[in-house]
Structure 1
Protein backbone atom coordinates (compact mmCIF):
# COMPACT_ATOMS: atom_id res chain seq x y z
CA UNK A 1 0.00 0.00 0.00
CA UNK A 2 1.37 3.40 -0.91
CA UNK A 3 1.46 6.39 1.41
CA UNK A 4 -1.14 9.01 0.51
CA UNK A 5 -0.45 12.73 0.65
CA UNK A 6 -2.98 12.98 3.47
CA UNK A 7 -1.11 10.32 5.48
CA UNK A 8 2.26 11.94 4.76
CA UNK A 9 1.06 15.40 5.81
CA UNK A 10 -1.78 15.52 8.28
CA UNK A 11 -0.88 12.95 10.97
CA UNK A 12 2.68 14.32 11.42
CA UNK A 13 1.41 17.89 11.57
CA UNK A 14 -1.32 16.98 14.06
CA UNK A 15 1.15 15.14 16.25
CA UNK A 16 3.61 18.03 16.17
CA UNK A 17 0.90 20.54 17.08
CA UNK A 18 -0.35 18.32 19.92
CA UNK A 19 3.21 17.94 21.22
CA UNK A 20 3.70 21.70 21.01
CA UNK A 21 0.49 22.22 22.96
CA UNK A 22 1.74 19.88 25.70
CA UNK A 23 5.08 21.72 25.72
CA UNK A 24 3.23 25.02 26.20
CA UNK A 25 1.36 23.55 29.17
CA UNK A 26 4.60 22.36 30.70
CA UNK A 27 6.27 25.73 30.13
CA UNK A 28 3.44 27.65 31.78
CA UNK A 29 3.41 25.35 34.81
CA UNK A 30 7.18 25.68 35.10
CA UNK A 31 7.03 29.47 34.88
CA UNK A 32 4.38 29.56 37.59
CA UNK A 33 6.36 27.24 39.87
CA UNK A 34 9.49 29.40 39.45
CA UNK A 35 7.52 32.65 39.80
CA UNK A 36 8.64 33.74 36.34
CA UNK A 37 6.40 36.06 34.35
CA UNK A 38 5.16 33.95 31.42
CA UNK A 39 5.50 37.02 29.19
CA UNK A 40 9.26 36.67 29.54
CA UNK A 41 9.10 33.23 27.92
CA UNK A 42 6.74 34.43 25.20
CA UNK A 43 9.26 37.06 24.12
CA UNK A 44 12.39 34.93 24.62
CA UNK A 45 14.58 34.18 21.62
CA UNK A 46 17.77 32.26 20.95
CA UNK A 47 19.53 35.09 19.15
CA UNK A 48 18.75 38.79 18.72
CA UNK A 49 17.92 38.38 15.02
CA UNK A 50 15.58 35.40 15.51
CA UNK A 51 11.85 35.51 16.09
CA UNK A 52 10.68 35.19 19.72
CA UNK A 53 8.94 32.11 21.08
CA UNK A 54 5.45 33.46 20.44
CA UNK A 55 6.22 33.96 16.74
CA UNK A 56 7.74 30.47 16.45
CA UNK A 57 4.44 28.98 17.64
CA UNK A 58 2.42 31.18 15.27
CA UNK A 59 4.55 30.16 12.29
CA UNK A 60 4.35 26.45 13.17
CA UNK A 61 0.54 26.73 13.23
CA UNK A 62 0.49 28.78 10.02
CA UNK A 63 2.71 26.27 8.23
CA UNK A 64 0.44 23.39 9.25
CA UNK A 65 -2.86 25.06 8.30
CA UNK A 66 -1.37 26.35 5.05
CA UNK A 67 -0.22 22.88 4.11
CA UNK A 68 -3.55 21.26 4.84
CA UNK A 69 -5.48 23.92 2.95
CA UNK A 70 -3.24 24.04 -0.10
CA UNK A 71 -3.00 20.27 -0.50
CA UNK A 72 -6.76 19.89 0.01
CA UNK A 73 -7.45 22.67 -2.49
CA UNK A 74 -9.27 24.98 -0.07
CA UNK A 75 -8.64 28.54 1.05
CA UNK A 76 -6.02 28.97 3.75
CA UNK A 77 -7.71 30.28 6.91
CA UNK A 78 -6.29 33.59 8.06
CA UNK A 79 -5.33 34.05 11.68
CA UNK A 80 -4.24 37.47 12.92
CA UNK A 81 -0.97 37.33 14.86
CA UNK A 82 -2.42 38.93 17.99
CA UNK A 83 -1.65 36.33 20.66
CA UNK A 84 -0.13 37.71 23.85
CA UNK A 85 -0.48 34.78 26.25
CA UNK A 86 0.01 31.05 26.53
CA UNK A 87 -3.77 30.63 26.61
CA UNK A 88 -4.16 32.50 23.33
CA UNK A 89 -1.39 30.40 21.75
CA UNK A 90 -3.22 27.27 22.92
CA UNK A 91 -6.38 28.56 21.26
CA UNK A 92 -4.47 29.08 18.01
CA UNK A 93 -3.09 25.54 18.16
CA UNK A 94 -6.54 24.11 18.94
CA UNK A 95 -8.09 26.04 16.03
CA UNK A 96 -5.36 24.74 13.70
CA UNK A 97 -5.80 21.16 14.89
CA UNK A 98 -9.57 21.41 14.42
CA UNK A 99 -9.12 22.79 10.90
CA UNK A 100 -6.73 19.99 9.89
CA UNK A 101 -9.06 17.37 11.36
CA UNK A 102 -11.94 18.78 9.30
CA UNK A 103 -10.19 18.04 6.00
CA UNK A 104 -11.34 14.76 4.45
CA UNK A 105 -8.51 12.47 3.30
CA UNK A 106 -10.08 12.08 -0.16
CA UNK A 107 -9.66 15.82 -0.72
CA UNK A 108 -5.88 15.24 -0.88
CA UNK A 109 -6.12 12.76 -3.74
CA UNK A 110 -3.92 13.92 -6.61
CA UNK A 111 -2.39 16.74 -4.58
CA UNK A 112 1.11 15.36 -5.11
CA UNK A 113 1.04 16.85 -8.63
CA UNK A 114 -1.03 19.96 -7.82
CA UNK A 115 0.77 23.25 -8.44
CA UNK A 116 1.34 25.11 -5.19
CA UNK A 117 2.28 28.78 -5.52
CA UNK A 118 3.51 30.75 -2.51
CA UNK A 119 3.75 34.52 -2.83
CA UNK A 120 6.07 36.36 -0.50
CA UNK A 121 6.88 40.08 -0.53
CA UNK A 122 10.16 39.55 -2.39
CA UNK A 123 9.67 36.26 -4.21
CA UNK A 124 7.23 33.71 -5.52
CA UNK A 125 7.85 29.99 -5.04
CA UNK A 126 6.18 27.29 -7.12
CA UNK A 127 6.12 23.61 -6.18
CA UNK A 128 4.37 20.42 -7.08
CA UNK A 129 2.38 19.27 -4.05
CA UNK A 130 4.76 16.45 -3.09
CA UNK A 131 7.81 18.73 -3.25
CA UNK A 132 5.92 21.41 -1.32
CA UNK A 133 5.24 18.94 1.48
CA UNK A 134 8.65 17.25 1.57
CA UNK A 135 10.98 20.16 0.91
CA UNK A 136 9.11 23.19 2.22
CA UNK A 137 6.36 22.36 4.72
CA UNK A 138 7.92 19.62 6.82
CA UNK A 139 11.37 21.27 7.15
CA UNK A 140 9.78 24.63 8.04
CA UNK A 141 7.28 23.11 10.44
CA UNK A 142 9.95 21.15 12.31
CA UNK A 143 12.34 24.12 12.29
CA UNK A 144 9.82 26.32 14.11
CA UNK A 145 8.67 23.50 16.40
CA UNK A 146 12.28 22.76 17.32
CA UNK A 147 13.13 26.42 17.80
CA UNK A 148 10.14 26.90 20.13
CA UNK A 149 11.28 23.84 22.10
CA UNK A 150 14.87 25.12 22.20
CA UNK A 151 13.85 28.59 23.41
CA UNK A 152 11.95 27.09 26.33
CA UNK A 153 14.72 24.60 27.12
CA UNK A 154 17.29 27.40 27.01
CA UNK A 155 15.16 29.32 29.51
CA UNK A 156 15.09 26.53 32.06
CA UNK A 157 11.91 24.67 31.20
CA UNK A 158 12.69 21.01 31.93
CA UNK A 159 11.86 19.48 28.57
CA UNK A 160 13.31 16.34 27.07
CA UNK A 161 13.26 14.44 23.84
CA UNK A 162 10.08 12.64 24.91
CA UNK A 163 8.29 16.02 25.14
CA UNK A 164 9.33 16.84 21.57
CA UNK A 165 8.46 13.43 20.14
CA UNK A 166 5.27 12.99 22.17
CA UNK A 167 3.49 9.79 23.11
CA UNK A 168 3.06 6.79 20.86
Structure 2
Protein backbone atom coordinates (compact mmCIF):
# COMPACT_ATOMS: atom_id res chain seq x y z
CA UNK A 1 0.00 0.00 0.00
CA UNK A 2 1.59 3.28 -1.09
CA UNK A 3 2.40 5.95 1.46
CA UNK A 4 2.30 9.49 0.12
CA UNK A 5 4.48 12.29 1.44
CA UNK A 6 4.35 16.00 0.72
CA UNK A 7 7.29 15.70 -1.63
CA UNK A 8 5.40 13.19 -3.74
CA UNK A 9 2.77 15.70 -4.79
CA UNK A 10 4.96 18.61 -5.80
CA UNK A 11 5.67 17.93 -9.43
CA UNK A 12 4.55 15.05 -11.57
CA UNK A 13 4.69 16.91 -14.85
CA UNK A 14 6.48 20.14 -15.75
CA UNK A 15 7.14 20.86 -12.07
CA UNK A 16 3.54 22.03 -11.65
CA UNK A 17 1.10 20.70 -9.09
CA UNK A 18 -2.11 19.54 -10.75
CA UNK A 19 -5.54 19.16 -9.20
CA UNK A 20 -5.13 15.38 -9.37
CA UNK A 21 -1.88 15.75 -7.42
CA UNK A 22 -3.89 17.40 -4.65
CA UNK A 23 -6.81 14.98 -4.62
CA UNK A 24 -5.12 11.60 -4.89
CA UNK A 25 -2.64 11.91 -1.99
CA UNK A 26 -5.40 13.32 0.23
CA UNK A 27 -7.73 10.45 -0.63
CA UNK A 28 -4.90 7.97 -0.15
CA UNK A 29 -3.87 9.27 3.27
CA UNK A 30 -7.38 9.22 4.67
CA UNK A 31 -8.45 5.88 3.18
CA UNK A 32 -5.33 4.27 4.61
CA UNK A 33 -6.25 5.81 7.96
CA UNK A 34 -9.83 4.54 7.66
CA UNK A 35 -8.59 1.01 7.06
CA UNK A 36 -6.36 1.28 10.13
CA UNK A 37 -9.30 2.46 12.25
CA UNK A 38 -11.19 -0.68 11.24
CA UNK A 39 -8.18 -2.79 12.21
CA UNK A 40 -8.13 -1.12 15.62
CA UNK A 41 -11.87 -1.60 16.06
CA UNK A 42 -11.51 -5.31 15.35
CA UNK A 43 -8.57 -5.61 17.74
CA UNK A 44 -10.38 -3.78 20.53
CA UNK A 45 -13.66 -5.62 20.05
CA UNK A 46 -12.82 -9.06 18.65
CA UNK A 47 -16.19 -10.56 19.51
CA UNK A 48 -18.41 -7.73 18.33
CA UNK A 49 -16.62 -5.66 15.73
CA UNK A 50 -18.90 -6.74 12.87
CA UNK A 51 -21.86 -5.15 14.68
CA UNK A 52 -20.17 -1.77 14.28
CA UNK A 53 -20.99 -1.84 10.58
CA UNK A 54 -24.66 -1.11 11.26
CA UNK A 55 -23.97 1.58 13.89
CA UNK A 56 -25.11 5.11 13.06
CA UNK A 57 -24.15 8.52 14.36
CA UNK A 58 -27.82 9.57 14.29
CA UNK A 59 -31.00 7.66 13.40
CA UNK A 60 -31.43 9.49 10.08
CA UNK A 61 -27.82 8.97 8.95
CA UNK A 62 -26.30 6.06 7.07
CA UNK A 63 -24.48 3.31 9.02
CA UNK A 64 -20.75 2.76 9.15
CA UNK A 65 -20.78 0.23 6.30
CA UNK A 66 -22.34 2.86 4.04
CA UNK A 67 -19.99 5.63 5.14
CA UNK A 68 -16.99 3.46 4.22
CA UNK A 69 -18.32 2.69 0.76
CA UNK A 70 -19.42 6.25 0.09
CA UNK A 71 -15.94 7.50 1.05
CA UNK A 72 -14.56 5.11 -1.56
CA UNK A 73 -17.14 6.32 -4.08
CA UNK A 74 -16.27 9.97 -3.48
CA UNK A 75 -12.55 9.30 -3.89
CA UNK A 76 -13.00 7.59 -7.25
CA UNK A 77 -15.81 9.82 -8.47
CA UNK A 78 -13.80 12.95 -7.78
CA UNK A 79 -10.98 11.87 -10.07
CA UNK A 80 -13.21 10.47 -12.81
CA UNK A 81 -15.36 13.61 -12.93
CA UNK A 82 -12.33 15.87 -12.94
CA UNK A 83 -11.03 14.11 -16.05
CA UNK A 84 -14.41 13.80 -17.77
CA UNK A 85 -14.35 10.01 -17.72
CA UNK A 86 -17.27 7.61 -17.46
CA UNK A 87 -17.64 5.78 -14.17
CA UNK A 88 -16.58 2.11 -14.22
CA UNK A 89 -19.09 -0.61 -13.23
CA UNK A 90 -17.23 -1.09 -9.94
CA UNK A 91 -18.41 2.34 -8.84
CA UNK A 92 -22.04 1.33 -9.35
CA UNK A 93 -21.38 -1.76 -7.24
CA UNK A 94 -19.99 0.40 -4.44
CA UNK A 95 -22.99 2.71 -4.57
CA UNK A 96 -25.43 -0.21 -4.48
CA UNK A 97 -23.62 -1.80 -1.55
CA UNK A 98 -23.65 1.50 0.30
CA UNK A 99 -27.34 2.12 -0.26
CA UNK A 100 -28.28 -1.34 1.01
CA UNK A 101 -25.69 -1.64 3.76
CA UNK A 102 -28.23 -1.22 6.56
CA UNK A 103 -29.83 -4.52 5.51
CA UNK A 104 -26.67 -6.15 4.12
CA UNK A 105 -23.67 -4.69 5.97
CA UNK A 106 -21.33 -7.48 4.85
CA UNK A 107 -18.09 -7.81 6.87
CA UNK A 108 -15.15 -5.72 8.03
CA UNK A 109 -12.93 -7.79 5.75
CA UNK A 110 -15.00 -6.81 2.74
CA UNK A 111 -15.07 -3.17 3.84
CA UNK A 112 -11.27 -3.18 3.99
CA UNK A 113 -11.18 -4.87 0.59
CA UNK A 114 -13.26 -2.06 -0.89
CA UNK A 115 -10.80 0.46 0.54
CA UNK A 116 -7.85 -1.48 -0.91
CA UNK A 117 -9.53 -1.64 -4.32
CA UNK A 118 -10.10 2.11 -4.24
CA UNK A 119 -6.48 2.77 -3.29
CA UNK A 120 -5.33 0.62 -6.20
CA UNK A 121 -7.62 2.54 -8.55
CA UNK A 122 -6.19 5.84 -7.33
CA UNK A 123 -2.64 4.62 -7.95
CA UNK A 124 -3.62 3.58 -11.47
CA UNK A 125 -5.10 7.03 -11.99
CA UNK A 126 -1.86 8.74 -11.05
CA UNK A 127 0.03 6.61 -13.55
CA UNK A 128 -2.37 7.11 -16.45
CA UNK A 129 -4.07 10.49 -16.17
CA UNK A 130 -2.95 13.68 -17.85
CA UNK A 131 -3.27 17.10 -16.17
CA UNK A 132 -6.69 18.74 -16.32
CA UNK A 133 -6.76 21.43 -18.99
CA UNK A 134 -6.78 25.01 -17.78
CA UNK A 135 -10.28 26.47 -17.87
CA UNK A 136 -12.02 23.09 -17.51
CA UNK A 137 -15.59 23.34 -16.20
CA UNK A 138 -17.85 20.63 -14.80
CA UNK A 139 -21.61 20.30 -14.49
CA UNK A 140 -22.48 18.07 -11.54
CA UNK A 141 -26.04 16.75 -11.57
CA UNK A 142 -27.71 15.25 -8.50
CA UNK A 143 -30.62 12.78 -8.55
CA UNK A 144 -33.00 15.43 -7.17
CA UNK A 145 -32.57 17.50 -10.33
CA UNK A 146 -30.07 19.94 -8.84
CA UNK A 147 -27.19 20.93 -11.10
CA UNK A 148 -23.99 22.58 -9.88
CA UNK A 149 -21.66 24.33 -12.32
CA UNK A 150 -18.00 24.44 -11.24
CA UNK A 151 -14.62 25.33 -12.57
CA UNK A 152 -12.24 22.41 -12.04
CA UNK A 153 -10.63 24.25 -9.14
CA UNK A 154 -13.99 24.97 -7.51
CA UNK A 155 -15.04 21.35 -7.92
CA UNK A 156 -11.94 20.07 -6.13
CA UNK A 157 -11.98 22.67 -3.35
CA UNK A 158 -15.70 23.03 -2.68
CA UNK A 159 -17.20 19.66 -3.59
CA UNK A 160 -14.81 16.75 -4.03
CA UNK A 161 -12.78 17.20 -0.86
CA UNK A 162 -15.66 18.24 1.39
CA UNK A 163 -17.88 15.34 0.32
CA UNK A 164 -15.07 12.86 0.85
CA UNK A 165 -14.16 14.21 4.28
CA UNK A 166 -17.82 14.15 5.34
CA UNK A 167 -18.01 10.37 4.98
CA UNK A 168 -14.56 9.69 6.43
CA UNK A 169 -15.21 11.88 9.45
CA UNK A 170 -18.65 10.35 9.99
CA UNK A 171 -17.03 6.90 10.00
CA UNK A 172 -14.50 8.12 12.57
CA UNK A 173 -17.26 9.65 14.70
CA UNK A 174 -19.32 6.44 14.61
CA UNK A 175 -16.36 4.39 15.82
CA UNK A 176 -15.63 6.86 18.62
CA UNK A 177 -19.30 7.00 19.64
CA UNK A 178 -19.30 3.20 19.83
CA UNK A 179 -16.38 3.26 22.25
CA UNK A 180 -13.47 2.50 19.94
CA UNK A 181 -10.31 4.17 21.22
CA UNK A 182 -9.03 6.47 18.49
CA UNK A 183 -7.34 9.85 18.72
CA UNK A 184 -5.92 12.69 16.66
CA UNK A 185 -2.77 10.69 16.00
CA UNK A 186 -4.94 8.06 14.30
CA UNK A 187 -6.66 10.72 12.23
CA UNK A 188 -3.48 12.42 10.99
CA UNK A 189 -1.10 9.46 11.00
CA UNK A 190 0.22 10.60 7.61
CA UNK A 191 1.72 13.69 9.31
CA UNK A 192 4.19 11.74 11.45
CA UNK A 193 6.90 11.50 8.75
CA UNK A 194 7.01 15.32 8.69
CA UNK A 195 7.59 15.70 12.42
CA UNK A 196 10.88 17.44 13.12
CA UNK A 197 13.24 15.15 15.03
CA UNK A 198 13.29 16.06 18.70
CA UNK A 199 10.17 18.23 18.45
CA UNK A 200 7.82 15.74 20.13
CA UNK A 201 7.31 16.19 23.89
CA UNK A 202 9.03 13.63 26.09
Q: Normalization by structure 1: what TM-score? A: 0.88
Given candidates 54, 63, 71, the residue that maps to 1:60 is: 71
5 and 151 in structure 1: CA distance in 2 versus 1, 3 angstrom threshold: same
Q: In the aligned structure 2, how far is the partner of 1:111 from the partner of 1:84?
A: 40
Unaligned runs of 5+ in 2: 1-14, 98-104, 194-202
Structure 1: 5+ residue runs without aligned partners? none
Question: Does 1 or 2 have the higher relative contact order (CA < 8 Å, sep 6+)?
Answer: 1
Q: State the partner residue of 2:182.
A: 159
CA displacement at 1:72 relative to structure 2: 2.9
Quote the offset at 1:79 in angstroms.
3.9
Q: Is the 8 A contact 1:5 1:108 kept in 2?
A: no
Q: How does 1:44-123 map to 2 (within 5 A)?
A: 44-77=55-88, 78-80=91-93, 81-82=96-97, 84-104=106-126, 107-111=129-133, 113-122=135-144, 123=146
Residues 83, 132 of structure 2: 8 Å contact kept? no
CA distance in 2, matches of 1:135, 1:142: 11
Q: 2:159 & 2:24 partners in 1: Cα distance?
A: 15
Deviation at 1:112? 5.6
Of stretches 71-80 and 47-56 in structure 1, the one that deviates more from structure 2 is 71-80
Q: Structure 2: how far apart are the matches of 1:25 and 1:46?
A: 20
Deviation of 1:117 after TM superposition, in Å, equals 2.4
- The question of whether the paired residues in 2 share the 8 Å contact of 1:72 and 1:103 is answered with no
| CA distance in structure 2 between the partners assigned to 1:17 and 1:112 by the alignment | 28
Q: Does 2:66 match 1:41? A: no
Distance 1:120 1:85 in 2: 29
CA distance in 1, matches of 2:82, 2:53: 31
Larger radius of gyration: 2
Q: Secondary structure at the match of 1:104?
A: helix
Give the TM-score normalised by the residue count of structure 2: 0.75
Stretches (4+) displaced over 4 A: none
1:113 counterpart SS class: coil
Structure 1 CA distance, aligned partners of 2:41 and 2:57? 16
